[in-house]
Amino acid sequence: MSNILSGKVALVTGGSRGIGAAIVRRMARDGAAVALTYAASDQRAAALAAEIESEGGTVFAIHADSGDPVALKQAVAQTVERFGRLDILVNNAGILIRGTVDDYDLADFDRMIAVNVRAVLVAVQAAVRHMGEGGRIITIGSVTADRVGVSGASVYAMTKGAVAALIRGLARDLGPRGITVNTVQPGPTETEMAPGGTVRDQLRSLIALGRMGKDTEIAGLVAYLAGPESSFVTGAALTIDGGYLA
């Protein structure tokens, strides 16, 4: 443990698996008390909590679907009730429902907006009521905000572009209060959400480093933004993509 976040409290939405779980682990190992939300992965959330506690970390798992504004607000309230404060919010929860324009279902469109965009605003609105000088808000976006690369991801890309724009505005709103707001934009990363087969091979061929990213590498950038050395970074969309956009 580095203890760089000792005394801090973090909330990570969608924190039971993938990049979210890597962020939870990193925050805990850096000394923060960490709350995480999960929508369906009860067993994974429980296993992750047990793992962190076995290493001496402090963690609190909360069942909350980020697409439900009431549940998300309650998750923030439960975090503050449990730990007495909130210093770091990581909006990680996100979904990808693929489909081309010809027959994309509007119900899927609404669901993507609810989880990938609306939830960010809802969580920020609830969290900033408890944050003071030095607060950190970090949202996981995607390089698809700048380059889609493959077909079937237009709506997902739109949501990530919206998040990047939202973060810039929130940085202006919250800068006078000493709260930084940034987005991390991963490129193709080895997670369950990543496409497989020929699409994965195609993406890998477009990456300068010749491989996909690791969830721990994304968590490392998030940890930097959550820590004291990033105090002059706000309103930024930081790409971590192995040279995919190069």
Q: What tens digit of pLDDT does each residue of 86-136 get?
A: 999 999 999 999 999 999 999 999 999 999 999 999 999 999 999 999 999
> How many alpha carbons lie under 13 Å from residue 60 in its C-beta half-sphere?
18
CA distance 211 to 56: 33
What percent of the chain has pLDDT above 90?
89
Flag whether 3 is in a domain.
no
Flag whether 1 is in a domain.
no
Cα angle: 239, vertex 188, 169; to 5 degrees: 35
Flag whether 34 is in a domain.
yes
What is the SS3 assignment for 240? Answer: strand
Helices 18-29 and 215-226: crossing angle, nearest 10°? 50
CATH code for position 45: 3.40.50.720
Q: Is the pLDDT of residue 195 over 70?
A: no
Q: Is the pLDDT of residue 196 over 70?
A: no
Q: How many beta carbons lie within 10 A of that of residue 151, not counting itself? A: 11
Q: Measured in Å, how far apart are the chain's first and last C-alpha atoms?
A: 34
CA distances from 211 to 197, 201, 206, 214 (A): 14, 9, 9, 9
Flag whether 245 is in a domain.
no
Q: What is the mean pLDDT of the chain?
A: 95
pLDDT, position 197? 64
- Give yes or no: 156 in active site: yes
Q: pLDDT by residue (tens digit) across 22-62?
A: 999 999 999 999 999 999 889 999 999 999 999 999 999 99
Flag whether 2 is in a domain.
no
Q: Model pTM? A: 0.95
Number of independent structural domains in the chain:
1
Marked catalytic residue, from 38, 104, 156, 224:
156
Flag whether 132 is in a domain.
yes
Domain hosting residue 43, numbered range: 9-240
CA distance 224 to 92: 16
CA distances from 224 to 101, 111, 124 (A): 38, 31, 20
Flag whether 150 is in a domain.
yes
pLDDT, position 85? 98
**Length of the chain, please?**
246
Flag whether 106 is in a domain.
yes
pLDDT, position 175? 98
